[in-house]
Amino acid sequence: MSIPRWLTVLLIVLLTAPGLATAQEGDSAEALLEQLAEASPRDTETAIKAIATSGHERARDWMDAYGNNRLSQVKDTGQIVVVLNNRGRDWEVADALTGENLGEMSRRDLDRIAVNNAIRRQLEGVMAMMDLYANDVGVREAAALDLMGKVDGAIVGDVTARIEEEPDADIRSRLELAVAIYQIEEQGSAEAISVLAGSLHPRARAALNNAVASEDPALRPAAEQALGSIEQKLKLNKTAETLYFGLSLGSVLVLAAIGLAITFGVMGVINMAHGELIMLGAYTTWGMQQLLPGQPGLALILSIPAGFLVAALAGIAIERSVIQFLKGRPLETLLATFGISLILQQLVRTVISPQNRTVVSPEWMSGSLVINDALSLTLNRMYVLGFALVVFAALMLIMRRTRLGLEVRAVTQNRAMARSMGIRATRVDIMTFALGSGVAGLAGVALSQLTNVGPNLGQNYIIDSFMVVVFGGVGNLWGTLVAGLTLGTINQLLEPWAGAVLAKIIVLVFIILFIQKRPKGLFPQKGRAAEA
């Protein structure tokens, strides 16, 4: 049985069509790149637009390579390649059409496809327009943000058309701002100022400042009014940022002081080595990262129990070797613990290094939480603030719900009566000092995410810690929390106009005057011993 001729032709077409389509696509892409390579400066814009509208999956990569001066042509064959590494005499290249790595070629065998600053500016707008049609919302949002101040007459029509098609309201707002900036700067449009009136983006404010300097009588008053409303919003956001940094500093003070509040309240010991216990917790975090290279997140999580244990053991050693022999002699205890702090500092300098060490923050603690164009909250400080509250809650549970907490409160209120009730005050002292020292180690773990780790790390917080303890009320955890957050916020509010040093002096004077009025702090202890 013979197959009809028309069926044979149809089968041949169906079998060869995919190959023909691929070949045509390859020919088309090659033609686009050749057109770009051979284009004169006058025709470059046309070649760029042809690539941008081609729909080819690698068009965005070609534009990026061209803008970064990494698009070249092989002299002998005319093949278009992307330069991957341009160091040395031989350059690593890849086929622009397929992305296949072609190995190294001598740079003398390559002709770079010329690009200048004017073309780069055009490419930025073109690539942003290409990204505006991406499926990923994040890519479109980044492209809309990148268009701020880059919209020109060549793409303003396309951007305006995209505004009507964009489904995301935030991206539409960004595009409207970008178009409004162009209309104000290039066309002097007073109507566009209303679009920028509430924007906190720096480029929008720059456009309004230029409009204020304009001689156009219709443009200037509208721009001044818009800038006035923006300045009010900026002040509110600046205040919110200052409060956030104040709470962040306060949380650090709470972590540094809460362990001191426990030991000072129970034992009446002024431990000048408390700062060095904080330092040991920070160095424990650094040491864990040396044991687990490339895993900063896991190292940080493991550093929490490790830092607590290292500082707690150091605290027990200090209590058993020195403090137990100096009970009831506060001046000698202060001098002895000050000597211990010097010994610990020198020990770290000798064993590790006198130089500061950097602790790498994990990826999930890096970056910022962007609230708006004028306010962003750093994630590492947010985590430290949350960590401080968790530690505080855990200590409250220990003090309120455990036998150790009951015994600590009993010894704090009346040591003699607690002894007569069968409580082993010496054991309570050891456990309390270990607990307070361990919390200091946790403070060091947190501080390692905010600053460099060095032998003098704890010295920066010991005086502030004592101020927090005295201001809040000796031995009172709630007082320590309130005092730490309050002093941190006050310090941050004073710094912008008084300076860092004068702000600390003002805070110190405030605490002195406050203690004159309330010698027992915000939350004084209760009990017979407290009344004595």
Computed over every residue of the chain, the mean pLDDT equals: 82
> Tens digits of per-residue pLDDT, 422-466?
888 788 888 888 998 999 999 999 999 988 899 988 888 888 888
Q: 10 Å Cβ neighbour count for 390? A: 11
Q: Is the pLDDT of residue 31 over 50?
A: yes
Query: Sheet containing 80-85: which strands, arranged edge to edge?
Result: 101-106, 90-95, 80-85, 71-74, 110-112
Q: 10 Å Cβ neighbour count for 366? A: 13
Specify the DSSP class assigned to residue 353.
-
pLDDT number for residue 525: 63
pLDDT number for residue 4: 46
| Max CA separation in the chain (angstroms) | 119
pLDDT number for residue 474: 72
Instruction: Using DSSP, state whether 71 is helix, strand or coil.
Output: strand
More confident residue, 42 or 434: 434
pLDDT number for residue 285: 94
479, 473 contact by CB (below 8 A): yes
> Tens digits of per-residue pLDDT, 340-389?
999 999 999 999 888 888 898 898 888 888 888 888 889 999 999 999 99
476, 313 contact by CB (below 8 A): no
> Tens digits of per-residue pLDDT, 181-221?
888 888 777 778 888 887 888 888 888 888 887 777 778 88
pLDDT number for residue 304: 94
The Cα–Cα gap between 322 and 524 comes to: 29
The whole-model pTM stands at: 0.74
pLDDT number for residue 298: 93
512 pLDDT band, cuts 50/70/90, is confident
> Tens digits of per-residue pLDDT, 226-246?
888 888 888 888 889 989 998
Of 18-32, 481-495, 516-530, the range with the lowest mean pLDDT is 18-32
Q: Which residues contact 356 (CB under 8 A, 6 or more apart)?
A: 452, 453, 454
Q: Is 108 left (phi over 0), alpha (psi -120 to 50) or beta?
A: alpha
